[in-house]
Amino acid sequence: MAKPNTAKKAALPLNGRYLIAAVPGVRDYLGYGGHGLVFFDIDHGHKFVKRIAFKGLHPKTGLPSNVKGVGVSIPLHSIYVTTLETLERIDLITGKLIWEKPIEHGCDRLSVAPDGKTMYLPSLESHYWTVIDCETGNTIKVIDGFNGSHNTIYALSGQHVYLADLKNTMVKIADPKTNTVVGQVGPFANFIRPFTVNGAETKIFVNCNELLGFEVGDLTTGKVVAHKVIEGWDKGPVRRHGCPSHGIGLTPDEKELWVCDGFNMRLHIFSGVEPYQQLTTIPVQDMPGWITFTINGQYAYPSSGEVIDVKTRKILTLLKDEGNNTVECEKMLEVDFKDGKPVRAGDQFGLGRVMK
């Protein structure tokens, strides 16, 4: 009698578009997707594909720490994850941890340069950003002089880096050639929370403390040019972040601006150009604290776990892991693969991609 074949089939190399969620991506809540990098197949119903384990543990408890940010270097085929305590580099081809470095004052939301060589890493709401070599993890330069370093956007052009200080009403602008602050935009109505920029780097869209809505800054003049309050909805207490609107993103074609509303558990959609007309709203299952999109703008991903068709504005499915648990995450991005190798990456922010 022939023996049953118990050998495991070799996993096929990744091909196509994948959404990668770095979890725990809502505080350190393991109920929202567990721990690790969770891959979803964008082109096949966002089905769960696999999970890559990483470290990122609280030093004292040994439990998974809050993930604070995620970024990708295509030339180094690596994904970077920041937690409250460490910076990790993981190989996207092998799934192996290449290195993990403890960061003295902790980490916040990093951003990797388009050429994949360097990153800007904010300390955890401290007074500086560190410019880091993506291959080695070594420090290139420390940029000091902030109150609460927090969110970071390395522009798609590679020409500027936008630094949002959690305890400041101005967004600072750094030149990555010199790694010095060369400009600023503001002051905005209150301390700055999530923000995004358009591809041409002429406009910046900012969430502020106490504002249910957003403000717009002109990056060519450094002035605030619009203040938009979400109409028809009241402010109220939110579960996280302490901010009425925490999460904002441009569709890649920049025709729409999607804004989170924590108290009412909604996404509000505005036109992406003046006068920023309020268009419609989409209810979601939990408080949305972040929003991003596929590179081509086909799908929207609020941190509450929905997959939304941008054109029809319909919720298509919920992200589910291997245990059929809903995955909620504020640190997600698209990575495209060909024959098992990463060839293109999106961004955790909802960035405009119209470069002219």
Condensed to tens digits (0 to 9), the pLDDT of residues 197-237 reads: 999 999 999 999 999 999 999 999 999 999 999 999 999 99
pLDDT digits (tens, 9 = 90+) for 32-69: 999 999 999 999 999 999 999 999 999 999 999 999 99
What is d(CA 251, CA 243) in angstroms, rounded to the nearest whole number?
22
pLDDT of residue 11: 78
**Three-point CA angle 192, 303, 65, nearest 5°:** 80
pLDDT digits (tens, 9 = 90+) for 150-206: 999 999 999 999 999 999 999 999 999 999 999 999 999 999 999 999 999 999 999
Q: Residue 333: is its pLDDT beyond 60? A: yes
Considering the four listed CATH numbers 1.10.1660.10, 1.25.40.340, 3.40.640.10, 2.130.10.10, the one that applies to the domain covering 16-345 is: 2.130.10.10
**Three-point CA angle 257, 260, 261, nearest 5°:** 135
| Structural domain spans, the chain | 16-345
pLDDT digits (tens, 9 = 90+) for 137-147: 999 999 999 99
Q: Residue 339: is its pLDDT beyond 60? A: yes
Q: Residue 2: is its pLDDT beyond 60? A: no
Of the candidates 300, 308, 284, which has an alpha carbon nearest to the alpha carbon of residue 350? 300
CB 218 within 8 A of CB 185: yes
- Is residue 4 very low, low, confident or very high in pLDDT (cuts 50, 70, 90)? low
What is d(CA 101, CA 41) in angstroms, rounded to the nearest whole number?
30
The first and second tokens of residue 73, run together, are 């270097």
